[in-house]
Structures are given as C-alpha cells and as structure tokens.
Amino acid sequence: MNILKIAFKNLNRQKRRSMLLLLAVAFAFLVVVFMDGMTAGALKSMNAEIAKVVGGHVYIIGAQKEADKDEDDEAQTYLDGQAVQTVERIVKESGIEAEYIIKRMRNEGKLIFEGKEASSQIDGCDFENEKLLHDSILFKEGSWEGMKKENALLLSETTAKALNAGLHDVVLYETETATGQLTVAELQIEGIAVDRSVFGSITNYINFEYAQNISQLPEDSLEVYALFLKNPEMQETAANQIAEKLAKSAEVIDRSLAKKTNPSNPGNYMFSQLSDGKWEGTKYAVVTFFDFAPQMVTLMRTLQFISFGVLAALLLITMIGISNTFKIIVHERKGEIGTMRSCGVGRGSIRALFIAEASFLSIIGAAAGFVLALIIMQIFALIPIAKDSSFAVFTKNGHFTWILSFVPIAVKFLTVWVLTLLTVLGSASQAANMVPAEALRTGK
C-alpha cells in the first residue's frame, strides 16, 4: 500500500478543510519568517550605521609611558609612528578582510558658544579619504567643500541646537592635549549634519591635521586605528587575533578579563585600564564595536527568542485546530478504517496514513508561508526610505533589508513538523486501534 499517495488523495477529498489548515500553518510561518528576516536586516543596518558614525568594527588604541613613570602616573593615550607600523603589519599578517581602514584623532571636550556649553566627542578625520563617513552624513547646512577649511567643524544638528549656533559661527573647543594640559581652540562651523537617528549626535568632526595640532602630537601619530570589516560578524575573531599577536611584543589589555570584569561595557573597562601599571613604550587595547554595545548582541538574541515565542503561540492556536479537525476526520472515516483493517492493513499502516496527511499539511503550509514571507520582504525592500526619515538608521542605501539564516529557519521547519505530528498522534493511534467489526458497524 502506497501510504504517501493515499494520504495525498485523502487531503484532496476535503479540499476546503485542507486548504484552511494549510493557510493556518502558512500564516504562522509567514509571520515568524517575516519577523526574523526584517528584524535581522534592520539590526544589521543599524549596527552598520552606528559603526559608520563611531568609526569601525575593531579599534586598536594605545597609551605611551616612559620608563621613569610609575604605575600612578597618567599615560599619554595615542599611537606613535612605530606603534602604527606595528599595528599595520599585524593586521596584514592576520589576513583580516577590512573594507576600510580608518585613522583618526579622538578626544573629549566642551564646545562653548555665547555662554552656552555642550560636552562633545570630536573626531579628527581625513575627509577626502573617508568615503564611509561621506556616505553616512546628510548635510542640513553646509557642504564637504566647506570642510576643507583648516579649522572647519562638522556639527550634529542636536549639538548645534544645544549651542544655538549656526553655519559659519565660531565656537570655542575646550579640551586637553595628549599630555593632559588644558587647551582651547577656535572652530568654525562649516557643516551641520542631520541627526538620522539617536546615534547621530554622538560624534562631531574636524580635520585630522587640526585635531593633531590641538592634541599636540607628532605628525605620524594618531589616536584611533580602526577596521571596518567586510563581515562584521568576524569582529570578535579579528580582535582576538590582533590582541594575541600584539601581546607577543607589548603590553595588551586582556579582552577576556575585561568581559568578566565589566560584562555590561568591556570597552569602557579597557579604556580605563590603559594608564594602569608600570611599563615602557606602548600599551595596547583592542576593542570591538560590540564591546561598547554588548546590548546589541543581547537584543538580537532576545528578538530571536521573541520570534520563536510568537511561532509557538501561533502554532498552539493552529495545532488546536488541527487536533480537532483530525478527530472529526477519524470519526468520519470509521467505515473506511474498518474496511482497510478487514482487508489486512496493519495498525502501523493506519497510523502512518494519518501521520503522512499531517506531514503534508505542515510541510506544504510551512513552505507556502516561507515563500510568501520572501515575497513580502522583497516588496518591503523595494520601498525607498528618505535619508532624513527616522527609519533611515534601519536601512541600507535608503532601503530596508532582510536577512535569513539557514539554521534558525530549518529549526522552525522542524518544529512545525514535529508539533503537527504530536498533535495528530492521538487521533492516528485511535484510528489504528479500532476494532474492524465495530468500526464497520458504527461507520455506516
């Protein structure tokens, strides 16, 4: 007896009922796949946008301390020319695939304009070579042409409002040099950037050479050497590789210890440890984007659990319907089951017949839901989103993206199939255990 062929024919006997069950499974699977794909795409786009603003996925920072300094003395936080060469050599030897290598000056300070103050992180950038930054900035006022001025300042919209300052206004920047001396510089606003998200106001920008002069550092030095990886998922691996190689010839802050000591923000812990201890030369810290924002990883995992919970809830409702439907099917087919049993069909074959029908329902329904989810997600991906929209941070090049991973989808397919089988197992066993004579009598 061809169980699969008979099972498929049985589904066609009650097309309307079978179609309703298929639609129920398809809808549940569609909702979950859509949630998975769109949230994963949105999170990846958001991570990429933040990485553009802060300058990369993996950051190598350093501190200098001379031999006559003890552990209580502050170190000068920058990478000298020799340290930069060492980092570049190690990155090359590690074979890390970086889409961009970013070299910046970076310090914290206070912007002052007409009695108003705003704390600010300012990055010194080589604007001509930082294409990534060009792509992430949308000017509300000003232009990149204006940023060619030596003391030009690119200000976020939020910071400009806090200072009540406009284009071409001159603001004072109060900060410290690399040696810890207080200094003040004049900056002229030549650009105001639209805050495309809550992260847009994190950083403001000036020219690299001018930032270097403010910090009073040598020409071949810098404060942040960052990698923007082709595959952001490899940032932890890349950071560990670099740290391990650097540790062979210099002091390097232990990444695993940082995660244990301050799991909520290991990046800040590594920064705080740069001056601790007594050493000579350069002490390094290798930090990833997720070290500053470990909650992003937690958020992604949480969303995965939520989507699985939604699937479970939808499937629970669907399985109740399937269970009741198969109870009715068994009752309607008593005579048919009795005839089959009288003709020598074994209990196992009867049970397998109903399980096969349920398997067809779950597999075809899940496959249909998967295909519909792909179509709907692709439609969403074609909708253009304005760069100044509040949703822009969740997009890539002005469009939503979606990402699906094989393993989670396969697990969900398997979950749907297994739950469907468990749901109909009772009805299938009831059909298999029927006494042929009684089934024939009551099924007429």
pLDDT at residue number 71: 66
Name the phi and psi angles at 111, rounded to 5: -90, 135
User: Exposed/middle/buried for 425, CB within 10 Å: 0-12, 13-18, 19+?
Assistant: middle
Q: Given pLDDT bands bounded at 50, 70 and 90, which one contains residue 348?
A: confident
By the 8 A CB rule, do 173 and 157 touch?
no
Among 353, 369, 267, residue whose Cα is nearest residue 318: 369
Q: Given pLDDT bands bounded at 50, 70 and 90, which one contains residue 180?
A: confident
pLDDT at residue number 196: 63
**Least confidently predicted of 40-54, 95-109, 275-289, 299-313:** 299-313
Q: Indicate the SS3 state at residue 109.
A: strand
Q: Is the pLDDT of residue 209 over 60?
A: yes
Rounded Cα–Cα distance for residues 411 and 422 (Å): 16
Tokens 């969740």, residue? Answer: 394
Q: Is the pLDDT of residue 264 over 90?
A: no
CA angle 306, 307, 310 (to 5 degrees): 85
Q: Given pLDDT bands bounded at 50, 70 and 90, which one contains residue 60?
A: very high
Q: Is the pLDDT of residue 1 over 60?
A: no
Residues in contact with 14: Cβ distance below 8 Å, sequence separation at least 6, in sequence order: 329
User: What does DSSP say about strands 395-396 and 399-400: parallel, antiparallel, or unpaired?
Assistant: antiparallel
Among 360, 443, 298, 439, residue whose Cα is nearest residue 19: 360
Could you tell me the pTM of the whole model? 0.68
The pLDDT > 70 percentage for the chain reads: 89
Average pLDDT, the chain: 83
Rounded Cα–Cα distance for residues 365 and 21 (Å): 8
Among 155, 183, 184, 157, residue whose Cα is nearest residue 172: 184
222 DSSP β-pair partners: 79
Q: What is the mean pLDDT of residues 173-201?
A: 83
pLDDT one-digit tens code per residue, 155-164: 988 899 999 9
Q: Is the pLDDT of residue 241 over 90?
A: yes
Residues in contact with 208: Cβ distance below 8 Å, sequence separation at least 6, in sequence order: 103, 104, 105, 124, 125, 126
Rounded Cα–Cα distance for residues 352 and 359 (Å): 10
Residue 88 DSSP one-character state = H
Among 102, 311, 119, residue whose Cα is nearest residue 226: 102
Domain ranges of the chain: 3-50+295-442, 53-293
Q: Which two tokens stand for residue 41?
A: 């795409």
288 DSSP β-pair partners: 58
pLDDT at residue number 290: 80
Q: Given pLDDT bands bounded at 50, 70 and 90, which one contains residue 412?
A: confident
Distances (CA, A) of 202 to 5, 110, 116, 199, 404: 63, 13, 18, 6, 31
Q: Given pLDDT bands bounded at 50, 70 and 90, which one contains residue 295?
A: low
Q: Is the pLDDT of residue 221 over 80?
A: yes
**What's the CA dihedral at 413, 415, 421, 422 to 10 degrees?**
-170
**Least confidently predicted of 31-45, 142-156, 379-393:** 379-393
Q: What is the mean pLDDT of residues 417-431?
A: 84
Q: Is the pLDDT of residue 284 over 70?
A: yes
By the 8 A CB rule, do 202 and 133 touch?
no
Q: Is the pLDDT of residue 415 over 90?
A: no
Q: Is the pLDDT of residue 108 over 60?
A: yes
By the 8 A CB rule, do 361 and 416 touch?
no
Rounded Cα–Cα distance for residues 152 and 295 (Å): 35
Distances (CA, A) of 46 to 99, 200, 360, 400, 401: 18, 12, 39, 11, 11
Q: Is the pLDDT of residue 192 over 90?
A: yes
Q: What is the mean pLDDT of residues 132-157?
A: 88
By the 8 A CB rule, do 229 and 111 touch?
no
Query: Which residue would you say has higher pLDDT here, 73 or 209?
Result: 209
Q: Specify whether the backbone of 431 is left (phi greater than 0), alpha (psi in -120 to 50) or beta.
A: alpha
Q: Is the pLDDT of residue 443 over 60?
A: no
Q: Which two tokens stand for residue 135?
A: 């792509």
